[in-house]
Amino acid sequence: MPKAKSPIPEGFHTLTLHLTVNGAVKYLDFLKRAFNAVEVSITPGQAGKLMHAHVRIGDSDLMFNDSFPEHGSPPVAEGHWPFALHLYVPDADAVFAQAVAAGCAVTMPLADQFWGDRYGHVKDPFGFTWAIGTHIEDPTPAEIQERKNKLFGAGEASA
């Protein structure tokens, strides 16, 4: 067997998110409709489940699979994830609308934010939160602090 050219496979970054979802086949279809995901590879499992799925959204990779408790994969408690998938795109308004049309619920309306992004949150039908943004300006740290103070009050400690 030939030795790998690199410890990180071609096209991957150092960190790639890998999710466990209930209904990975349906999640694959959803990702295609909501975010124009491109299928890279699929490994079917038992009983119509996906053992592994790899898609590309823009220039980033996402991997996911169905839950397989019989192989040590924990059951999924959908809708209670303590993270968001942050997606930068050229047109947040268009992608936000596409995600909502594909079944996402708006949890933070899209708006221009004090740090320079047009940004909002949607929750997908599988319980994951997607933060969708387009960077629209480059405010200085002082401008960001001033806008934050105006929005939230000057009494907060700065980050």
pLDDT at site 157: 52
CA dihedral 95, 101, 105, 109 (to 10 degrees): 40
Same domain membership, residue 97 and residue 138:
yes
Task: State the DSSP string of 81-142.
Answer: -S-EEEEE-S-HHHHHHHHHHTT-EEEEEEEE-TTSEEEEEEE-TTS-EEEEEEE-----HH
Whether 157 is covered by a domain: the verdict is no
Same domain membership, residue 97 and residue 60:
no
pLDDT at site 158: 47
Q: Is the pLDDT of residue 72 over 80?
A: no
Residue span of the structural domain in which 127 resides = 84-152
pLDDT at site 120: 97
Task: Pick the more confident residue, 9 or 86.
Answer: 86
Whether 77 is covered by a domain: the verdict is no
* Spatial separation of the C-alpha atoms in residues 155 and 159, rounded to whole Å: 12
Task: Check: CB of residue 135 under 8 Å from CB of residue 88.
Answer: yes
Task: Check: CB of residue 121 under 8 Å from CB of residue 133.
Answer: no
Task: Check: CB of residue 56 under 8 Å from CB of residue 38.
Answer: yes
Q: What is the CATH number of the domain that holds 32?
A: 3.30.720.100
Give residue for tokens 């809708």.
79
Worst-scoring range by mean pLDDT, 20-24, 65-69, 78-82? 78-82
Confidence of residue 78 (pLDDT cuts 50, 70, 90): low
Same domain membership, residue 144 and residue 109:
yes
Whether 129 is covered by a domain: the verdict is yes
Whether 5 is covered by a domain: the verdict is no
* Spatial separation of the C-alpha atoms in residues 110 and 93, rounded to whole Å: 7
User: How many domains is the chain partitioned into structurally?
Assistant: 2
pTM value surpassing 0.85: no
Q: What is the CATH number of the domain that holds 106?
A: 3.30.720.110
End-to-end CA distance of the chain: 51
Same domain membership, residue 140 and residue 88:
yes
Same domain membership, residue 89 and residue 61:
no
Whether 123 is covered by a domain: the verdict is yes
Distances from the Cα of 29 to the Cαs of 39, 48, 73, 74, in angstroms? 10, 14, 22, 23
Mean pLDDT for the chain? 90
> Per residue in 26-58, pLDDT tens?
999 999 999 999 999 999 988 899 999 999 999
Helix (H, G, I), strand (E, B) or coil at 9: coil
